[in-house]
Chain A
Amino acid sequence: MARAWKYGDNVDTDVIIPARYLVTGDPAALGRHCLENLDPQFLQEKTDGDVLVGGRNFGCGSSREHAPLAIKGAGVSCVIAESFARIFFRNAINIGLRVYESPAAARGIQMGDEIEVDEAQSAILNRTRGERYEIVPLPPFVQEIVAAGGLMAKLRQELARGGAAS
């Protein structure tokens, strides 16, 4: 069970992690500034496993992989949104941050709700409101990257097979 932190549309990478902190790739160091420009309360009150919920176009803006790293480093277990900006979505998959596209969940979940994700059933459960929302499934090719353990795990497999320059 996890607590939801709910925000609006267009949560951009500059509020997820301001550029002045992009002087490290360490998730924990980045996580200490996650969302500080959007909601200073988040850093004070969040606990490990909490869930971020956004509206449309979550993660828009820069290609900085520091954005999903900061969210992961802040201890967030997953991000649920109506839609994701494409570079953020790709980065999250690549670094192993769980991201779920679910318009119904993004609309139904309110700040502070208790949330559970049932990945096997492709569903998000809202314990506070007794609601259940469907997750939009990933394309099979992307599911394979997730199953391999991320894009670098896929690269390691290819290097081991001699499929890439090495």
Chain B
Amino acid sequence: MAMTLAEKMLADRSGLAEVRPGQIVETPVDLVMGNDITAPIAIREFEAAGAKKVFDPGRVAMVMSHFVPAKDINSADQTQIMRRFAREQAITHYYPEGTGGIEHTLLPERGIVVPGDIVIGADSHTCTYGGLGAFATGVGSTDLAYAMATGRTWFKVPESMRFTYYGRRRPFVTGKDLILHTIKTIGDDGALYRAMEFTGEAIRDLPMEDRLTMSNMTIEAGGKVGIVPTDDLTLRYEEGRALRPWRVYAADPGATYVEEYEIDVSQLEPQVAFPSLPSLTRGISDVGDVAIDQVFIGSCTNGRLSDLRVAAAILRGKQVHPETRLIVIPATQDVYKAALREGLIEVFVEAGASVSTSTCGPCLGGHMGVLGKGERCLSTSNRNYVGRMGDREAEVFLASPAVAAATAVRGRITDPREFSPKEAAV
């Protein structure tokens, strides 16, 4: 039977000749991950069940990302559970604040997750690693505890949807714009319980960081995984980076997809999601006049080096609008260091931005830029639900780093194409 990419991966790793949608499989995991919000509960469950040792200390990642540096006493207490456990279990990939950053940027960047991996992480944006060709999905703390003890998890084989992107992207149209448009097309539950497969010539042209951005927002369409087939670009990205051998899978010709979409990216302009769902996306020409109080550039969606380069190209030599504030947070310590070396951090600071150490921070209304009543934020992150970034009457718009930087300069949601190509040269 011809199988989709997700089916091929689950069949192979579960030791089965074939699998079908709806079937339950038990599968060994290549990596499991927890962060400072989800790991403490998992650790308590793990210990309460009487488990003594994790299945492999080299395959459990513990990353402090959400409320670090500790935002209050309670969150400091939570991290202590994780610090103790990581020491006791001699966890190889343990990254306290100041050493790692946001897990979904960190793990691909350091080659800790590689193509063909089966990964579960106690964070919904674990689906990011699909950009590398991994089968990666978010779970809760209890599933993490079970997998830490056994090295296994269970999956219901998802139905697959195929998205074929073709045409040439126009300037300032990025992976973020492709995925926002896709979520608008299929809805916030358009991929519920399903695998998304991102293919086509426009994906083959898409840089790895943009692919990771697309897979990152699979969950905003309800998807279980969002996988980009591994290609030459993937393998060039992995050379000298991957810490383990990778596996390359491809969908069979004639595999069954429950839905197929073809998207002409040459017709797309920069996209903006309106409050309070990612599916409420419009092309930037249809945005109208929207004043913005805060701009946030960062998060696991768009806090990578290429994102900061685009933003700095627009902000260089300019000032943030006097009635707007800009927060820039490099997603990882490595991104931060590279941005320092390239002079990007200086551009942001000179423009009047607040720049912080790597953290999820304002994306989830945790700290470092929480919104007050009635405030409007344009954010490069992934969710704009009611109360997501602070007060329930605050509003969040989602867009790419180029739109964010242009908006920070003008104080209103702004089309980055208003800036000359030279100004915005990357």
Contact = CB atoms under 8 A, between A and B. Distances in A.
A122 interface: no
B249 interface: no
Given A14-B385, A19-B366, A63 B151 contact: no
Interface string B44-64: 110011111111000000000
B304 interface: no
Contacts of A61: 124, 219, 383, 385
A62 interface: yes
Interface residues of B, number: 59
Given A19-B366, A23-B74, A164 B149 contact: yes
A10 B122 contact: no
A18 to B, nearest CB: 5
B388 interface: yes
Contact of B277 (A10, A19, A20): A10
Contact of B365 (A20, A86, A159): A20
A10 B219 CA distance: 13
Interface in B17-53: 22, 24, 37-38, 40-41, 44-45, 48-53
Contacts of A95: 140, 142
A38 interface: yes
Given A18-B387, A19-B365, A63-B38, A164 B51 contact: yes
A141 B154 contact: yes
Most buried by A among B40, B145, B222, B277: B222
> Is chain B's interface secondary structure helix, strand, loop, or mixed overall?
loop
B185 interface: no
Interface in B118-150: 121-124, 126, 138-143, 145-146, 149-150
Interface stretch (A70-78, A108-116, A128-136, A149-157): A149-157
B421 to A, nearest CB: 37
B142 A151 contact: yes
A151 B146 contact: yes
Interface in A81-126: 83, 85-87, 90-91, 94-95
Nearest to A21: B74
Contact of A86 (B38, B53, B192, B383): B192
Contact of B124 (A63, A66, A152, A166): A63
A47 interface: no
B264 interface: no
B50 A166 contact: yes
A125 B73 CA distance: 46
Contacts of B146: 151-152, 154-155
A62 B219 CA distance: 9
Contacts of B277: 10
Nearest to B75: A23
Interface in A1-40: 9-10, 12, 14-15, 18-20, 22-25, 37-38
Contacts of B52: 165-166
B141 A57 contact: no
Contacts of A63: 38, 121-124, 126, 138-140
A91 to B, nearest CB: 4
B222 A37 contact: no
Contacts of B333: none
A36 to B, nearest CB: 8
B383 A158 contact: no
B307 interface: no
Given A91-B142, A166-B51, A57 B41 contact: no
Contacts of A9: 189
Given A57-B188, A87-B139, A165-B54, A155 B222 contact: no
Given A57-B188, A60-B222, A62-B124, A152 B142 contact: yes
B24 A94 contact: no
Residue of B51, B55, B151, B224 most packed against chain A (CB within 10 A): B51
B107 to A, nearest CB: 16
A46 interface: no
B67 interface: yes
B158 to A, nearest CB: 9
B286 interface: no
B208 interface: no
Contacts of A142: 24
A56 B188 CA distance: 10
A12 B383 CA distance: 10
A15 B51 contact: no
Given A86-B192, A159-B50, A164 B145 contact: no
B111 to A, nearest CB: 24
A40 to B, nearest CB: 9
B387 A15 contact: yes
B44 to A, nearest CB: 7
19 contacts: A9-B189, A10-B189, A15-B392, A19-B37, A19-B366, A22-B66, A22-B67, A38-B386, A63-B122, A65-B41, A65-B141, A91-B142, A139-B156, A151-B142, A151-B145, A154-B146, A164-B55, A165-B149, A166-B52
